[in-house]
Structure 1
Amino acid sequence: MDTSCNQNKELTYACHCIRDFFSDIDLQHAIQDATALVTAAAGNKRYKNRRGSNLFSFTNSLQQLITAAFIIHNNYYLPPAAMVPPDKATGLPDISKQNNYVQLPGYIAAWAAFPRHLSARQYSNPCRAIKKFTGHCTEPAWQKILKDLLEYAYTNCTAGEEYAAAELLLIRLRLLQLIEACHLLHVRTRPQTKTLKKIASANKKKRS
């Protein structure tokens, strides 16, 4: 992550949380697991872990990502490298520049790495999505939501008993936006290519 993280111990921790999250899982599988978490919780059947995926470990990692989001928001952290100015003519960001959202060429396809749950403004400035996430509810409330979703996912009960359908849809959207926004921060302030290749190799072994 960006070297400006070193200016603040909290930010250093937040940057490490984001780095560790995407060292353990790529964006595509993170989106799949987050979707599976909410979908399973909303249903009335127990979730069965698919190969290479475990909602318990994923939720633990997601809790750390949520903590990082609140630290970033509370510290007004926005490294210049994370910003992608919109085109002056269209007012929209140039998404043809794949280095702005692809972690490593050949590691994950551009189609799978594109943050399709973010708006154009959030793509240009990922911290806008983080602001939306932190504005939805407090950090303790988010942690409770994750705990509830995990419990409902592994029981025959449904989260619909506690959360309205519209609220579950919004929770899903905010979680996906958080993951994609943090991924953009990670990519745009990424370490050297050699480090990324080690991460890609490690992730490939975990998923095999």
Structure 2
Amino acid sequence: MPGGRFITLEGIDGAGKSTHLGWLETVLRARGRHAVVTREPGGTALGEALRALLLDGSEGMHAETEALLMFAARREHLDKVILPALDRGDWVLSDRFTDASFAYQGGGRGVATDKLDHLERWVQGGLQPDLTLYFDVPVEIGRRRARAIRPADRFEREEDVFFRRVRDAYRERARRFPERIRVIDASRPLEDIRILLEEIITSICS
């Protein structure tokens, strides 16, 4: 059996990552791959506790504190979930990873890129996803979708201008790392997106 792969799904809230995550797991299992599905922040007991703290809107939080907590949860996630799964030859599907920190804490909050670069090297070493699926959608569409699904958390209560900065940062990451990040037009019909995703998955499963 071929070795595992690390695939991340990225995008602003309402881009459709969660909609496609379970479906991708089914596609991989149909091809004989064992998939571990996880999320950030979260994925471990400590990570989920930090997630609750990060999404809670009861009090403010310094932007750099937010970034540090994200990377603390990520370090635990790597140690407890991602690296063991890859060592076993499993495939890992993660709803967000470090690109989200550059987009939300960097683009959205204004944390300096060099500080995030340092945290990335410290926490991950040289590890990067084998493939990142970036679901790109206009802010207005993403926000409308997100509001229809669930009550807004601390991030989702931000103004549109915040999410425009987040989207711009994601798009800049995609331009910077085109060999890793595939841009998916998430405003297209669901079936069109899944045809494209299946083509992408088939190409890396062979």
TM superposition score normalised by structure 2: 0.28
More helix by share: 1
TM-score when normalising by structure 1: 0.27
Ranked by relative contact order (alpha carbons within 8 Å, sequence separation 6 or more), the top structure is 1
Instruction: Flag the structure with higher strand content.
Output: 2
